[in-house]
Amino acid sequence: MTALRWAGFAVMAAFAGFVSLMLVGYTVADLGGWEAVGLIAAVGVPLGALCLLAWRWPAVAEPVLAVVCLAPVAFGLLQLLDYERWSSWEDQHGPLSLVLLLVVATPLAVLGLARPLAAGAMMLAVVLVPLLLEVVGAGNDWTRPLSIAVVFMPVLASATLFLLAAREVTGSRSSSQPHRFAH
C-alpha cells in the first residue's frame, strides 16, 4: 500500500479519535449514567461494525457505505428545508452533523486502504454536499455553517490524500502498459 493511503487513514484516524473523545466526554458530562452509555453504544457499535466490514470485506463495504453516506446528506437536506429549526435542535441536543460525519467517514478511511478512489470520492461527498445544502438553507446566515465546517478540514485532507493515492495507482498502471500507436 502506498504512503498516501496510510497518510489519508492516519489523518482521519487522528480526527476520529479526537472527536470521539470529545463527544464521549460531553455525553457523559451532560447525560451521565445509562443514558450516556446507551447513546455512546448507539453510535459506537455501528461505527465499529462498519469499520470491521470495510477492513475485512472492502468489496461488500463499498456499496454499503455508499448507502450510509446518505445519512449526512439527508440531514443536510433537512437543514436546507428548515435551517433555523435544525440548527436550533443541534444547539440543544448536540452536533448530529458531526456524529453522522464521524460514523460515515471513519469506515470510509478504513475502506481507503483498499479502495482509495471510492473512499476519497465518498468522503468528499459526505462533507461537501451537506455543507452546501446547509449554506443554502442558512440564507443570509451562510457564514455560520462555513465557520463550523472548518472542523471538517481533516476529513477533506484525508479524502484528498485518498484521491491522490488512487491517481498514483492508476497513473502507474497506465505508464507500465505499452503504448499503442494508431495506424
Which of 2-6, 22-26, 58-62, 176-180 bottoms out in mean pLDDT, i.e. has the lowest?
176-180
Res. 68: pLDDT tops 80: yes
Domain that holds residue 71: 3-167
Tell me whether residue 126 is exposed, middle or buried, using C-beta atoms within 10 angstroms of its C-beta: 0 to 12, 13 to 18, 19 or more.
buried
Task: Determine, yes or no, domain membership for 181.
Answer: no
pLDDT band at 183 (very low <50, low <70, confident <90, very high): very low
Q: What value does the mean pLDDT take over residues 30-39?
A: 91
pLDDT at 9: 96
pLDDT at 172: 55
Dihedral (Cα; 117, 123, 129, 132), 10-degree rounding: -120
Between the CA of residue 136 and those of 11, 120, 144, 176, what are the distances in Å? 29, 24, 11, 45
HEC secondary structure over 80-117: HHCHHHHHHHHHHHCCHHHHHHHHHHHHHHHHHCCCHH
Task: Determine, yes or no, domain membership for 110.
Answer: yes
Q: What value does the mean pLDDT take over residues 35-58?
A: 96
Task: Determine, yes or no, domain membership for 107.
Answer: yes
Closest CA to 8 of 119, 162, 121, 123: 162
* Domains in the chain, number: 1
Which of 48-52, 150-154, 174-178 bottoms out in mean pLDDT, i.e. has the lowest?
174-178
Between the CA of residue 115 and those of 9, 60, 166, what are the distances in Å? 12, 12, 8
| pTM of model > 0.85 | yes
Between the CA of residue 105 and those of 19, 63, 84, 102, what are the distances in Å? 12, 14, 26, 5
pLDDT band at 169 (very low <50, low <70, confident <90, very high): low
Beta-carbon neighbour count of residue 14 at 10 Å?
12
Task: Determine, yes or no, domain membership for 134.
Answer: yes
Task: Determine, yes or no, domain membership for 175.
Answer: no
Res. 73: pLDDT tops 90: yes
pLDDT at 179: 44
User: Cβ(116)–Cβ(155) under 8 Å?
Assistant: no
Task: Determine, yes or no, domain membership for 177.
Answer: no
Task: Determine, yes or no, domain membership for 40.
Answer: yes
Q: What value does the mean pLDDT take over residues 64-77?
A: 97
pLDDT at 171: 58
Higher-confidence residue of 66 and 170: namely 66
Dist CA 59 CA 66 (whole Å): 12
Q: What value does the mean pLDDT take over residues 79-90?
A: 94
Task: Determine, yes or no, domain membership for 114.
Answer: yes
- Look over the chain and give the mean of its residue pLDDT values, rounded to a whole number: 91
Res. 164: pLDDT tops 60: yes
